[in-house]
């Protein structure tokens, strides 16, 4: 009754209600634009990981001492600390390498209920950090263990936000990293600033005085040998212990190579038998040098990192970017990237920018199919922005930034809000179908009938999320934003749905149908096309067979395209074979023949002997043929590379399938082992063995995944396409049908190229010989001769006299050309030897590959006929006997590992067989 009373009043002011809803929406949008963002809220993991760093270049003893002092302070001042574990340097398996001046302190804490020094994690970390300031020269950075490891895996640094400055010059990088560190230290919320040191490492530098070395009759290599022997050691012989053999290394005793003076006073023997100290022939000093050079994507970079405390990461990075734009002007070629949790946030936003519109599009599509009306679909769709208002405002009221968990909450909220709209509009349509035409009456009756279902739908979801919204246990930081969005959005959306949606329904019903059935069909087709296009844009992998992959590579690969362009280039050069020198035009004016001024004009041309041009053209033709043959060589190599990567990917997928199958076997075994251990039927050894086996399989699977991704990149590079192709598993084995006939090698493109090189060298010799022929010279002159001629006739300047010139350029000094001819003959011999060597080498490779093929074919046949069947029998029998109790877990493990080893060896044999066949196909030009 209360709802009906207020709804009647509101129906009299529809525009005011809609304006009020629009104002709320604008306020929510404004609040959201000012709201910060983070990838996921920080999760307290129960312990602290403290990144500890001493001065650059410190030895391991200094680092260990700093760790022990820090552990003593923490244990003494904080009763919450159960134990402190330090890790320095790299282990035997260097999955987490660190320099000697860095260490990780793992602070194992008691349960939070036992704390006395602080009430929160941030407060405790701040107090611990203040207490550790008593250790001079050491910096500490408090984080959580898993979060720190993830940061290091993503960016190479352990801080939450990592700014990377890329550039070439190390001094410039060091300078701007320190400036960036100063700027970051002034940003609110950025703590534990870490500027990666790239200098400060002390090095012993020996600079030789060459003039003094020459006076003593020494050379630098001998001095280097003495220094190296004294401090690094040199092998002077062998020591045998039974069958063992060891190098006997000679060097100075430890106490004689500790200080700088030990190096300076090192005695160097001279040629006259005396010894002089090293400081007489060299300057020995300790200087600071480069500590490390880090690269990403083959580009030098330096890191400035910091942790986030008290603020969201998006606001901090935004403020940092603003300050950098104002106060830091990088030189040309230098730039900054932002990684860590901010990078994860940006990547997640991109994914949500695809997922949210797609989900909204699908919701609208389903609404249209449910009601058969675009108008009513849009009407129900209005519940989405109405629900978003409450979610945004409740997040802001609780002081929570936008995060990925909040984004997931919005998606869930939209679904429930739309469900309420469907409940209400479906009732309106039912009442209208019964014959009621008054829209106001339809709204009043419909809201009265559906008030309880709408409230129940909203309150069930809200109350279900209420424990998550109020939770303070483990993982509550991630749960609270999601629950807050759903509860706040549903509370406000339910209120607006019960009052605003009826008004919108009345307004929509007043709008007549403006679109015909054809228009509706057009809308349906558009929606379907958009949906299909959205799914087509999603990342996916397209299967491809070997032949199609080779065809695609031959079509797109840039190396092949370059060879084709090179052949076209050589073809264009054929027109330049006849290279005639420039024509000379001359003119004279003045007293050439007499007192009078005469004019003279001439034209002349020199050309090589015609056979030279003929040989140049022949040489260019042979060069062009060689470039065409190089295309075939490049195509053959590309086919081989594509085939190798193709079948390596198949091999790795087979290995992965075997490991996954083995993992499922050990998962089942582990489950049974845990049950047996819980009931006391076995000891902890069985359970530990199963866990170890699964752990090893997990490591192998991760390595395989990494290898597959790297090979996939190589495959995509060879095909030169943006489409991600994966090999289809149509043929796991290649088939080769040929006999041991080495004559097929004669037709290989590489052999033809070597043969063509012989032809080129022969034609080049002929060209050099033709240059011994004389050059030809032709000329024509026209001039005036004023005055009395030899025939006593007086000539004016209008009379012109002609003459023709013909000459030969005889090579009298042909020693240089003879040298070129002889060297060209040497090239003929070299190219002939290269041809024979290449032919013999490829024949040997073919014979070797063919014999390997026969042996590997027998091995694969053995596995297929016997070993694989035996492996299946072993697995089946071992499982049955273990279930019956006939064998213990150690025997079962040995049998299962034996069966898996057989399957793995079979895939290895198939891989070797395929590689050999690929080599044979390459050698036989298939």
pLDDT at 520: 44
pLDDT tens track for 592-636: 877 788 888 899 988 888 888 888 888 888 888 888 888 888 888
Contacts of 394 (CB under 8 A, 6+ apart): 484, 485, 487, 488, 489, 491
pLDDT at 193 over 60: yes
The pLDDT of residue 415 is 78
Task: Locate the DSSP E strands across 499-619.
Answer: 542-544, 584-590, 598-607
Taking only the tens place, the pLDDT of each residue in 411-425 is 888 877 787 778 777
* Residue 471: both structure tokens together: 């939770």
663 within 8 A of 698, measured Cβ to Cβ: yes
Quick one: pLDDT at residue 14? 61
The arithmetic mean of pLDDT across residues 883-903, rounded, is 78
Give the pairing type, strands 725-727 and 584-590: unpaired
Q: Is the pLDDT reported for residue 513 higher than 50?
A: no
What mean pLDDT comes out for the span 442-464? 73
CB 835 within 8 A of CB 755: yes
CB-based contacts of 735, cutoff 8 Å, min separation 6: 917
With beta carbons less than 8 A apart as the criterion, state whether 195 and 304 touch.
yes
Of residues 838, 617, 650, 833, the one with CA closest to residue 730 = 650
What is the distance between the alpha carbons of residues 88 and 105, in angstroms, rounded to a whole number?
Answer: 9
Name the pLDDT band for 1 (thresholds 50, 70, 90).
Answer: low
- Max mean pLDDT among 336-345, 381-390, 642-651 falls in 642-651
* Contact residues for 63 (Cβ-Cβ < 8 A; gap 6+): 52, 54, 88, 100, 101, 102, 103
pLDDT in tens, 50-81: 888 887 767 788 888 888 888 888 888 888 88
Residue 517 pLDDT more than 60?
Answer: no
Query: Quick one: pLDDT at residue 2?
Result: 54
Considering only residues 183 and 6, tell me which one the structure prediction assigns the higher pLDDT.
183
Quick one: pLDDT at residue 696?
80
Instruction: Give CA–CA dist 204/223, Å, rounded.
Output: 15
pLDDT of 35 > 70? The answer is: yes
338: number of Cβ within 10 Å: 18
Rounded CA gap, 652 and 656, in Å?
A: 6
Q: How far apart are CA 359 and CA 368, in angstroms?
A: 14
Confidence of residue 533 (pLDDT cuts 50, 70, 90): very low
pLDDT the model gives residue 580: 82
Which range (163-167, 463-467, 546-550, 759-763) has the least confidence? 463-467
SS3 call for 233 = coil
Look at 823 and 404; give whichever has higher pLDDT.
823
More confident call, 444 vs 782: 782
pLDDT of residue 532: 35
pLDDT, average across residues 471-488:
74
Give the Cα separation of 635 and 130 in Å (integer). 67
For residue range 714-746, list pLDDT tens digits in order.
888 888 877 777 787 666 777 777 667 677 777
Give alpha helix (H) positions in 720-814. Answer: 749-770
Range 386-390 average pLDDT:
80
Closest CA to 148 of 192, 178, 198: 192
Given this model, what pLDDT does residue 847 score? 85
Task: Please report the pLDDT score of residue 817 as a whole number.
Answer: 80
The stretch 192-202 carries a mean pLDDT of 77
In the chain, the percentage of residues whose pLDDT exceeds 70 is 87
HSE on the CB side for 10, CA within 13 Å? 23
Percentage of the residues of the chain whose pLDDT score is greater than 90: 1
Reply yes or no on whether the pLDDT at 528 is more than 60.
no
Q: What is the pLDDT of residue 677?
A: 67
For residue range 631-665, what is the model confidence (pLDDT) as tens digits?
Answer: 888 888 888 888 888 888 888 888 888 877 777 77
Phi, psi of 924 (to 5 degrees): -95, 10
pLDDT score of 895 = 83
Question: Is residue 774 pLDDT above 60, yes or no?
Answer: yes
* Separation of alpha carbons 103 and 88, rounded Å: 5
Token pair recorded at residue 374: 């675009």
Please determine, for residue 539, whether its predicted confidence score (pLDDT) is greater than 60. Answer: no
Q: What is the DSSP letter of 37?
A: B
Average pLDDT in the 371-386 region? 77
Residues 6+ apart with CB under 8 A from 838: 750, 751, 754
Q: What is the tens place of the pLDDT at every residue in 792-837?
A: 778 787 788 888 988 888 887 878 888 888 888 888 898 888 888 8
> How much is the average pLDDT of 237-261?
81
How far apart are alpha carbons 425 and 498 in whole angstroms? 11
Place of tokens 């950090």: 129
**780: pLDDT strictly greater than 80:** yes
Residue 4 contacts residue 447 (beta carbons within 8 Å): yes
CA 437 to CA 460: how far, in whole Å?
34
Q: What is the pLDDT of residue 603?
A: 92
Within its chain, how far is the Cα of 902 from the centroid? 35
Rounded to the nearest integer, the mean pLDDT of the chain is 78
Q: Evaluate if residue 284 carries a pLDDT over 70.
A: yes
**Number of helical H runs and strand E runs in the chain:** 25, 23
């Amino acid at each position: 009754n209360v709802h009906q009373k207020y709804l009647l009043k509101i129906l009299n002011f529809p525009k005011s209600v809609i304006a009020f809803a629009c104002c709320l929406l604008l306020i929510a949008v404004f609040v959201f634009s000012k709201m910060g963002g983070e990838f996921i809220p920080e999760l307290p993991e129960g312990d602290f990981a403290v990144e500890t760093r001493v001065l650059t270049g410190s030895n391991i003893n200094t680092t260990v001492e700093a760790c022990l002092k820090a552990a003593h302070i923490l244990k003494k001042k904080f009763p919450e600390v159960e134990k402190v574990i330090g890790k320095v340097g790299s282990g035997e398996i260097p999955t987490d390498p660190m320099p000697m001046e860095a260490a990780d302190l793992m602070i194992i804490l008691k349960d939070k209920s036992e704390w006395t020094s602080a009430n929160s994690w941030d407060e405790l970390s701040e107090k611990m950090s203040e207490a550790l300031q008593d250790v001079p020269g050491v910096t500490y950075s408090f984080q959580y263990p898993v979060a720190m490891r993830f940061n290091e895996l993503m960016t190479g640094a352990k801080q939450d936000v990592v700014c990377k400055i890329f550039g070439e010059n190390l001094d410039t990088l060091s300078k701007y990293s320190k400036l960036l560190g100063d700027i970051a230290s002034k940003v609110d919320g950025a703590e534990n600033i870490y500027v990666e040191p790239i200098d400060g490492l002390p090095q012993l530098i020996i600079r030789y005085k060459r003039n003094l070395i020459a006076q003593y009759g020494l050379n630098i290599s001998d001095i280097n040998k003495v220094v190296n022997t004294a401090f690094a050691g040199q092998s002077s012989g062998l020591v045998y212990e039974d069958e063992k053999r060891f190098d006997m290394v000679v060097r100075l005793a430890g106490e004689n190579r500790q200080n700088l003076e030990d190096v300076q006073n090192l005695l160097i023997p001279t040629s006259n038998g005396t010894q002089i100290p090293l400081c007489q022939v060299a300057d020995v000093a300790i200087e600071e040098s480069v500590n490390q050079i880090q690269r990403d994507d083959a580009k030098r970079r330096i890191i400035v990192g910091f942790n986030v405390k008290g603020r969201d990461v998006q606001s901090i990075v935004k403020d940092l970017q603003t300050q950098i734009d104002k106060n830091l002007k990088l030189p040309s070629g230098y730039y900054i990237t932002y990684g860590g949790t901010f990078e994860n946030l940006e990547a997640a936003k991109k994914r949500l920018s695809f997922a949210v519109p797609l989900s909204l599009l699908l919701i609208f599509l389903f609404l249209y199919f449910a009601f058969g009306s675009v108008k009513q679909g849009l009407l129900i769709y209005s519940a989405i922005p109405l629900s978003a208002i409450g979610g945004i405002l409740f997040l802001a009221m609780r002081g929570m930034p936008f995060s990925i968990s909040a984004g997931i909450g919005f998606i869930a909220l939209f679904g429930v809000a739309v469900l309420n709209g469907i409940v209400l509009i479906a009732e309106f349509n039912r009442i209208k179908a019964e014959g009621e035409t008054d829209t106001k009456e339809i709204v009043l009756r419909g809201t009265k009938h559906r008030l309880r279902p709408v409230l129940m739908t909203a309150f069930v979801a809200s109350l279900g999320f209420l424990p998550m919204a109020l939770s303070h246990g483990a993982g509550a930081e991630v749960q609270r934003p999601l629950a807050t969005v759903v509860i706040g959005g549903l509370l406000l959306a339910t209120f607006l749905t019960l009052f605003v949606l009826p008004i919108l329904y009345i307004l929509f019903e007043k709008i007549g149908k403006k679109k015909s059935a054809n228009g509706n069909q057009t809308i349906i087709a558009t929606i379907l096309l958009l949906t299909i296009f959205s799914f087509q844009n999603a990342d996916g992998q397209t299967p491809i067979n070997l032949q199609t992959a080779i065809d695609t590579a031959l079509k797109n690969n840039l190396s092949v395209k370059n060879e084709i362009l090179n052949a076209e280039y050589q073809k264009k050069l054929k027109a330049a074979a006849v290279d005639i020198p420039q024509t000379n035009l001359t003119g004279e004016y003045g007293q050439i023949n007499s007192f009078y001024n005469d004019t003279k004009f001439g034209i002349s041309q020199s050309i090589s002997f015609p056979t030279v041009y003929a040989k140049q053209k022949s040489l260019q033709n042979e060069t062009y043929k060689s470039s065409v043959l190089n295309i075939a060589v490049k195509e053959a190599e590309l086919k081989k590379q594509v085939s190798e990567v193709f079948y390596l990917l198949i091999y790795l997928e087979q290995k992965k399938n075997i490991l996954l199958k083995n993992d499922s076997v050990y998962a089942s075994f582990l489950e049974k082992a845990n049950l047996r251990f819980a009931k006391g039927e076995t000891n902890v050894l069985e359970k530990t063995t199963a866990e170890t086996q699964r752990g090893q399989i997990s490591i192998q699977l991760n390595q395989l995944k990494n290898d597959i991704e790297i090979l996939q990149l190589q495959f995509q590079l060879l095909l030169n396409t943006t489409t991600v192709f994966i090999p289809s598993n149509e043929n796991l084995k290649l088939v080769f049908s040929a006999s041991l006939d080495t004559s097929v090698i004669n037709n290989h493109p590489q052999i033809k190229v070597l043969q063509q090189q012989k032809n080129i060298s022969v034609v080049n010799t002929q060209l050099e010989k033709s240059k011994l022929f004389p050059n030809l010279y032709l000329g024509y002159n026209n001039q005036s001769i004023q005055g009395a001629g030899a025939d006593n006739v007086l000539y004016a300047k209008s009379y012109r006299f002609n003459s023709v010139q013909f000459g030969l350029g005889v090579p009298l000094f042909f020693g240089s050309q003879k040298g070129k001819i002889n060297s060209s003959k040497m090239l003929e011999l070299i190219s002939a030897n290269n041809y024979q060597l290449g032919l013999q080498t490829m024949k040997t490779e073919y014979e070797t590959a063919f014999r390997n093929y026969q042996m590997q074919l027998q091995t694969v046949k053995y596995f297929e006929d016997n070993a694989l069947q035996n492996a299946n029998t072993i697995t089946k029998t071992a499982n049955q006997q273990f279930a019956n109790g006939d064998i213990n877990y150690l025997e079962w493990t040995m049998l299962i590992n034996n069966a898996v080893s057989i399957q793995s060896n079979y895939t290895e044999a198939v891989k070797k067989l395929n590689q050999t066949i690929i080599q044979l196909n390459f050698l036989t030009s298939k």
